Amino acid sequence: MSTATLERSETKPKYIVCEGNEAAALAVALARPDMVSVYPITPQSSLVEHVAKLVADGRLDADIVDAEGEHSVLSVLQGAALAGGRTYTATCGPGLAFMFEPYFRTSGMRLPIVMTIVTRDGITPQSVWGGHQDAMTVREVGWIQIYCESVQEVLDTTIMAFKIAEHHDVMLPVNVCVDGNYLSYGSTRVEVPDQAEVDAFMGVKNVNWHAALDPLRPMGVDPLTGGAGGKGPSSFVRYRKGQCQGMQNALRVITEVHEEYARRFGRNYAPLVERYRMEDAEIALMTLGSMTGAAKDAVDEARQAGTRVGIVKIKTFSPFPVDALVAALGEVEAVGVVDRSVAFRWNCGPMYQEMLGALYRLGRHVPSASFIGGLAGADMTVEHFHRVIRDTEALRHGRLSAGPTWLNEND
Amino acid sequence: MSSHRAYPMFDPAAAGVPDDLCPIATEITPMLPGDWRSMRPVVDRDKCVKCAICWLYCPVQCIVEKPAWFDMNLATCKGCGICANECPQRAITMVEEAGA
């Protein structure tokens, strides 16, 4: 049960111990959404239970709509956003799959809805455990997708997500990707920001300035476009191009919002790509999400043993931060990319596949390998990352493996 | 064209809204359902008893009341034929527009 409260009388920072799902719920309350819509049972997490409790306890003044399925959940929020509301939901796995039709439409209608994906592996094989497969499957649908490393980062990023989504140069929905099990149920010490300071950070809400369900401003929302005649082709291209531009603008806005958040609240996260011990690194690991903690420990130990290894952690996966990644890879001689999901078509991890495109921009050949671990809730330990470091080091001497390395194959 | 709207259509340019965000339409097409209808309902005034079943079922609400029968506003009737199908008196016949 929730023991946290948002009230605070002193000016001292407030610390609580909570799980990632509760941290996300507290952040949602701090961002003051007008409507939260959820499908309340499986596949759902305790996240929306925490949100519902905050509403029931009178600490979050939002309408909560228990819809009959995720397809309706997102459709409800589209209406709420078009009516001017700040909107939020959370889902995962099969729920995200059932949401797909309105999910595609949300980014096309440029509605700044924030949705937490408590990431879960794809079924079948049947499982209810964590993995990035669900979020990775929808990485090409025009949503901004940001992955968190810690419970504190879940709270801070969820607040920032609303500001990023609603920025007028962006106007795109945002997924905050929270590693299922490891972050969603992982409990740590968390600092909860002051409500007044969050209010000042968020500024004035204005989410339906571009399109609205408003009798005072009559317009037809989402009319038919495209086709081969008249203004069809040019209008469709104009909107699609605008979406792509919004994604590119997001790279700048995400950086600016992180900088402002750091100034106001004192917590600084690399917005796009984090470099960990990359100065003078000969080889680099690439990581995503909560696995990065174990990877950092392994790198610290390997550094002590004389291996010049660093980590390039992706925080913003969509839009893919190509320039930031190219800059981070710098002079490395080999890269080992660790994914928590698979790219079936390329027989590797999705992040590895994306990185190959970035390497082309880098303009020189860098030996690289794909590592897949942590599927369906499997643990990724320091030992696993030592293996990644050893195999990546071996790449410098020409040992290339044909397929991915499955880190939990013998666990 | 008459309008029941109390406010003028939204003007994105005047509001400073870029034209490449959410697809919106701010011009109303002059086309009405009657412009593309392929079949037209014809009421047999002797059979009509004004039960209003057609009025109840018409999806575009184009049924209009006359002194001794119900008729259709052919500007908005889309020719779906639901009225003819539902009429208990079989007073409505659908006829081809092209041959009429």
| Structure confidence by residue, pLDDT tens digits, A377-405 | 999 999 999 999 999 999 998 877 778 99
Residue A379 lies in a domain: yes
Question: What is the predicted ipTM?
Answer: 0.84
Confidence of residue B6 (pLDDT cuts 50, 70, 90): low
The CATH number for B56's domain is: 3.30.70.20
- Spatial neighbors of A376 by CB under 8 A, at least 6 apart, are A121, A125, A127, A129, A130, A131
**Calpha distance B65→B54 (Å, rounded):** 11
Q: Which residues contact A180 (CB under 8 A, 6 or more apart)?
A: A45, A92, A118, A119, A120, A121, A129, A130, A131, A377
- Convert the pLDDT of each residue in A365-382 to its tens digit: 999 999 999 999 999 999
**Residue B100 confidence (pLDDT):** 52
**Minimum Cα–Cα distance from A215: chain B residue:** B7
Among A167, A182, A202, the domain-final residue is A202
pLDDT tens figures, A285-305: 999 999 999 999 999 999 999
What does the pLDDT read at residue A1? 42
Structural domain for B54, as ranges = 32-96
Q: Using a CB-CB distance cutoff of 8 angstroms, which residues of chain A are in contact with residue B12?
A: 210
- Is A258 within a domain? no
- Residue A10 pLDDT greater than 80, yes or no: no
- Predicted local confidence at residue B5, as pLDDT: 58
Residues A262-278, mean pLDDT to the nearest whole number: 98
List the alpha helices (DSSP H) in chain B.
12-15, 53-57, 82-86
Strands A368-372 and A334-339 turn out to be parallel
Question: Is residue A262 situated within a structural domain?
Answer: no
Alpha-carbon separation of residue B27 from A233, A293, B11, B47 (angstroms): 18, 55, 10, 42
Q: Do B45 and B69 touch, CB atoms closer than 8 A? A: yes
Which domain, by its residues, includes A154? 14-202
Residue A391 lies in a domain: yes
A125, A200, B43, B70, B86 from B66: Cα distances, Å = 66, 63, 11, 5, 19
Residues A198 and A299 in one domain: no
Residue B11 lies in a domain: no
Helix locations, A266-381, DSSP H: 292-304, 322-329, 350-362
- Residue A314 pLDDT exceeds 70: yes
Q: Quick: pLDDT tens for B39-92.
A: 999 999 999 999 999 999 999 999 999 999 999 999 999 999 999 999 999 999
Question: What percent of chain A shows pLDDT beyond 90?
Answer: 91
Q: What is the DSSP string of A70-93?
A: HHHHHHHHHHHHHTT--EEEEE-H
**Out of A108, A110, A219, closest to residue B9 by CB:** A219
Which pLDDT tens digit goes with each residue over A110-139?
Answer: 999 999 999 999 999 999 999 999 999 999
Cα–Cα dist A207/B97, whole Å: 47
Q: Among B3, B11, B19, B20, which would you mutate to test the A interface (most chain A Cβ atoms within 10 Å of its Cβ)?
A: B20
C-beta of residue A67 within 8 angstroms of C-beta of residue A79 = no
Rounded Cα–Cα distance for residues A19 and A24 (Å): 9
Within a domain: B51: yes
- For residue B2, is pLDDT > 90? no
Asked if residues A344 and A275 have their Cβ atoms less than 8 Å apart, the reply is no
Q: Judge if A25 and A139 occupy the same domain.
A: yes
Average pLDDT, chain A: 95
CATH number of the domain residue A99 falls in: 3.40.50.970
Nearest CB to A209 within list B5, B6, B17: B17
Strand partners, A190: A16
Confirm whether B15 is domain-assigned.
Answer: no
Q: Are A144 and A250 in contact (CB under 8 A)?
A: yes
Number of domains present in the structure of chain A: 2
A299 lies in the same domain as A195: no
d(CA B29, CA A371): 56
Angle (CA) A314-A320-A325 rounded to 5° is 55
pLDDT of residue A11: 55
Q: Is residue A377 part of a domain?
A: yes
Alpha-carbon gap, residue A305 to A158, rounded angstroms: 38
- The pLDDT confidence band at residue A340, using thresholds 50, 70 and 90, is very high
Whether A216 sits inside 8 A of B7 (CB atoms) is yes
Size of interface A-B (CB pairs under 8 A): 62
Does residue B48 fall inside a structural domain?
A: yes
Before A319, cis peptide (omega within 30)?
yes
Q: In this model, does residue A2 exceed pLDDT 60?
A: no
Task: Tell whether A223 is covered by a domain.
Answer: no
Half-sphere exposure of A400 (CA within 13 A, CB side): 7
- 3-state DSSP assignment of residue A157: helix
Report the chain B residue with the minimal C-alpha distance to residue A225.
B23
**Last residue of some domain: A175, A202, A229?**
A202
What does pTM read for this prediction? 0.89
Using the Cβ of B68 and the Cβ atoms of chain A, whether some distance falls under 8 Å is answered with no
> Given an 8 Å threshold on Cβ–Cβ distance, is A219 in contact with B26?
yes
pLDDT of residue A45: 85
The answer to the question of residue B66 being in a domain is: yes
Please give the biggest Cα pair distance in chain A. 69
The tokens of A350 are what?
Answer: 């999705």
The answer to whether the CB of A350 falls within 8 A of the CB of A339 is yes
- CA-based nearest distance A109→chain B, Å: 4
Question: Does the pLDDT of residue A51 top 80, yes or no?
Answer: yes
> Is the model's pLDDT at B4 over the cut of 60?
no
pLDDT at B27: 85
Q: Is residue B75 in some structural domain?
A: yes
- Tell me, yes or no, whether A33 and A156 share the same domain: yes
Instruction: Please give the residue that has the higher pLDDT: either A68 or A398.
Output: A68
* E strands, A111-226, in order: 114-119, 144-147, 174-179, 187-192, 220-221
Q: Which residue has the tokens 């959820």?
A: A38
A281 and A386, same domain (yes or no): yes
> Over pLDDT 70: what percentage of chain A?
97
Specify the residue for token string 């880098």.
A362
pLDDT given for residue A5 in this prediction: 54
Q: How far apart are CA A258 and CA A272, in angstroms?
A: 10
From A217, A220, A241, residue closest to B20, measured CB to CB: A241
Query: Encoding tokens for residue A392?
Result: 């990546």
pLDDT value at residue B1: 42
Of the candidates B6, B21, B25, the beta carbon closest to that of A210 is on B21
Same domain, A183 and A331: no
Contact A329, A312 (CB under 8 A): yes
Would you call B22 and A215 a contact, using CB atoms and an 8 Å cutoff?
no
Q: Is A238 in contact with B26 (Cβ distance < 8 A)?
A: no
Same domain, A21 and A154: yes
Tokens representing A153 are 């980062």
pLDDT score for A403: 87
The kind and range of the H/E element at A1 are none
Asked if residue B87 is part of any domain, the answer here is yes
Domain boundary among A184, A202, A220: A202
B67 interfaces chain A, CB cutoff of 8 Å: no
Alpha helices per DSSP H over A266-349:
292-304, 322-329
Core vs surface per residue A71-109: b (16+ CB within 10 A) or e: bbbbbbbbebbbeebbbbbbbbbebbbbbeebbebbbbb
For residue A88, pLDDT beyond 50 = yes
pLDDT at A409: 96
Query: Which residues face A221 on adjacent strands?
Result: B24
**Structure tokens, B3:** 């309008």
- Note whether B9 contacts A: Cβ–Cβ < 8 A: yes
Facing B20 at nearest CB: one of A212, A218, A238: A238
Q: If we measure between CA atoms, which residue out of A225, A9, A239 comes closest to residue A108? A: A239
Residue B80 maps to a domain: yes
pLDDT in tens, A159-218: 999 999 999 999 999 999 999 999 999 999 999 999 999 999 999 999 999 999 998 899
pLDDT on residue B99: 64
β partners of residue A318:
A145
Q: Quick check: helix, strand or coil at residue A63?
A: strand
A378: domain CATH number is 3.40.50.920
- Residue A266 token pair: 């004192």
Q: How many separate domains does chain B show?
A: 1
* B6 contacts in chain A (CB < 8 Å): 215
Q: In chain A, which residues have their Cβ closer than 8 Å to the Cβ of B18?
A: 210, 242
SS3 A177: strand
Average pLDDT, integer, range A18-45: 93
Asked if residue A40 has a cis previous peptide bond (ω within 30° of 0), the answer is: no
Residues of A engaging B, defined by a Cβ cutoff of 8 Å: 108-111, 171, 209-212, 215-223, 225, 235, 238-239, 241-242, 245-246
**pLDDT at residue number A402:** 77
CA distance A146 to A168: 19
Closest CA of chain A from B31, distance in Å: 15
In a domain, A295, yes or no: yes
Only one residue has tokens 């009405």, namely B32
Residues of A with Cβ-Cβ distance to B19 under 8 angstroms: 238
Of the pLDDT bands very low, low, confident and very high (cuts 50, 70, 90), residue A244 is very high
